[in-house]
Amino acid sequence: NALTVIEQTVNAAGGIRGRAIKFVVQDDQSNPAVGVQLLNGVLAKKVPFVLGSTLGATCGAMTPLLKYGPVEYCFSPSISPAPGGYVYSAGVGAGDLVAAMAQYLRERGLKKIAVLTSTDTTGQDADRAIDNAMAAPENSSLSIVSRDHFNPTDVSIAGQMTHIAGAGADVLIAWTTGTPFATVLRGVRDSGLDIPVVTTNGNMSYAQMRQYKNNMPKELLFPGLPSFGPDKLPNGKLKNAVNRFLTAFKATGIQPENGENQVWDPTLIMLDEVKKYGFEVTPVQVRDYINNLHDWTGIYGTFDFH
């Protein structure tokens, strides 16, 4: 959706250097092996950059092929690209999301925390972020009273929920995305657990929430994004960027979700670089352009790669 809206918006304004743009989208089927196969085909075409994939595991599998370029802008924040390389990650990483969430819980007085994470890349990333947040001096009043894991393919987490229900937690951090989160919500419902549930912004999907409405807890919290609360933003560059984003989608009748948010800024950054260098831009020029980007404001905030 985001690529379609960007394509339409850019072309309606005259394209780039007088030429219309067209995104070529290939489906990796959320499968790292397929992603690697598709990337090998793209590399043979000597392209300067690749947008995606959308999952951290797939981006991680693609990274070893990109030691000498082209640039890959992964649409997931769950990877940690090496400095100086050709790989970048989009969105806000789990470390910053969890740090903000910990402050919210602390100020609200929700101090006894149960943690439930999936065993995939998303859950492992969250586990590290939670450990770092709990080690911060300002969070000394918070404590983890239970910690459980589950496999994303599990259809039941009854054992984990029994453990969590008996731990006396004030709040449950349930960090996983997509279908496994439906398993979590069913587990919360079936166990009768009646405490706030916090999850990743990766689940901020209207379609997903409508699908899970019968299993919703009384209170479901997300560490959110600026575009979901534009009226809360102060006047300035960030609010202007968010309003442009929302206006572009409104014209198409599409209601943007978390996925559209994560795609938007990286794609516009890459297009700005094409505007500067032209369509014959090299992978080195792309990398250097991003690394020297300063005071570029998108819908997540101001980017400064220094």
Strand ranges inside the chain, DSSP E: 49-51, 71-74, 87-89, 112-118, 143-150, 171-175, 197-198, 220-221, 294-297, 302-304
Phi, psi of 183 (to 5 degrees): -60, -40
What's residue 67's pLDDT?
95
User: By three-state DSSP, how is residue 52 classified?
Assistant: coil
Amino acid 37: pLDDT: 98
> How far is it, in rounded angstroms, from Cα 294 to Cα 305?
7
Q: Does the predicted TM-score (pTM) go above 0.85? A: yes
CA dihedral 221, 223, 229, 234 (to 10 degrees): 140
- Distance from chain centroid for Cα 212: 20
- pLDDT for 147: 98
CA 102 remoteness from chain centre:
18
Per residue of the chain (306 residues), give pLDDT as tens.
999 999 999 999 999 999 999 999 999 998 999 999 999 999 999 999 999 999 888 999 999 999 999 999 999 988 889 999 999 999 998 999 999 999 999 999 999 999 999 998 889 989 999 999 999 999 999 999 999 999 999 999 999 999 999 999 999 999 998 889 999 999 999 999 999 999 999 899 999 999 999 999 999 999 989 999 999 999 999 999 999 999 999 989 999 999 999 999 999 999 999 999 999 999 999 999 999 999 999 999 999 988
If we measure between CA atoms, which residue out of 118, 47, 121, 131 comes closest to residue 86? Answer: 47
pLDDT at res. 178: 86
Cβ atoms of 16 and 271 closer than 8 Å: yes
